Amino acid sequence: MTYTLEHTDPQSSARAGIIHTAHGDIQTPIFMPVGTAASVKGVQIRELTDDIKAQIILGNTYHLYLRPGTEILERAGGLHKFNGFDRPMLTDSGGFQVFSLTGIRKLRQEGCEFRSHIDGSKHFFSPERVIDIERSIGADIMMAFDECPPGTAPYDYAKKSLALTHNWLDRCLKRYRETEPLYGYHQSLFPIVQGVTYRDLRRQSAEFVASKEAEGNAIGGLAVGEPTEVMYEMIELVNSILPTDRPRYLMGVGTPVNILEAISLGVDMFDCVMPTRNGRNAMLFTSHGIINMRNAKWADDFSPVDPDGTSYVDHAYSRAYLHHLFKSQELLAMEIGSIHNLAFYLHLVGEARSHIIEGDFRQWKERMIPRLSQRL
């Protein structure tokens, strides 16, 4: 995997680039739809490629390990063959899911023992085991196994957690170098910067991660309850240390406003369940603001969802029709909501990229932020 930095915004740290992978190029900044269990909820592969224009999607190591399991994935020839998405994929390490299993997991230096949320069976993730699982899944980009502490974690806990994450990163890298891809194409491994909201820990982690000279790097443990301005402060600090010639991935963030602000701070890659989760629950994002499609005010509004036409559904269905579908609890409502939101997110980062290249990203962002924040 290689990264080409094409343009930088003269008034911010925003960047436009291209990530080159075995399954195709990714134009950055980019948003990655979340395909937790080998599928983006309610969205077919054809819709992902043709309507949403997704260039890369995510798979979740924890969920894919439990079901369908690595044996099935290997027999299929990897996740690309299993789900039919022939463009780049990224797998998280499963760390966030494992550590969210409060009460049914035990953490120690060797790794994490946990019980399946499906049937209660006992399992163990070590850094080495996670790399093996991610090899079996076969994503173009793999994430290192880390602990994601709570956003409210006290300093002493955060410091111990960071030491564990750094130890696990070294073990992940060792296992990565000892093993080969299973399906004949290169897989990259991204380390993850942690440190909660403590500046000294974030700096220490960013320096440690940068020293590994990986093909790309990630920022984890944000958007987990800390104030938004603190999140931006941590991103700015970390990106002042991470190398500029490698892609930077902000994990699990966030709203359209969060994404534009993070782009201005030098982030290249994003993922979040918000577009699909909110779309299934009648909250649609548009270039003019946020719409709750269940509100009665839309019952006789026959205008498009987004007059700017950020996805094919905008001109195919009116606000009145979508209001009717959501009020009637039709399954089609959840599908259309998910597709619209994902298409809007991809449109938004595409517009950001265009304005970075044109040199007026900062002015465009300052115009967009108030519009994206309002509720219609």
Catalytic residues: 92, 271
User: Do the beta carbons of residue 146 and residue 192 sit within 8 Å?
Assistant: yes
User: Do the beta carbons of residue 247 and residue 221 sit within 8 Å?
Assistant: no
DSSP of 117-157: TTT--EEEE-HHHHHHHHHHHT-SEEEPP-----TT--HHH
Q: Parallel, antiparallel, or unpaired: how do β-strands 15-21 and 2-8 relate?
A: antiparallel
Instruction: Identify the sign of the CA torsion 363, 364, 365, 366.
Output: positive
Q: Residue length, the chain?
A: 376
Cα radius of gyration rounded to whole Å, the chain: 20
Query: Taking Cα atoms as reference points, which of 8, 31, 37 lies closest to residue 254?
Result: 31
C-alpha distances (whole Å) from 171 to each of 167, 178, 324, 330 are 7, 11, 53, 48
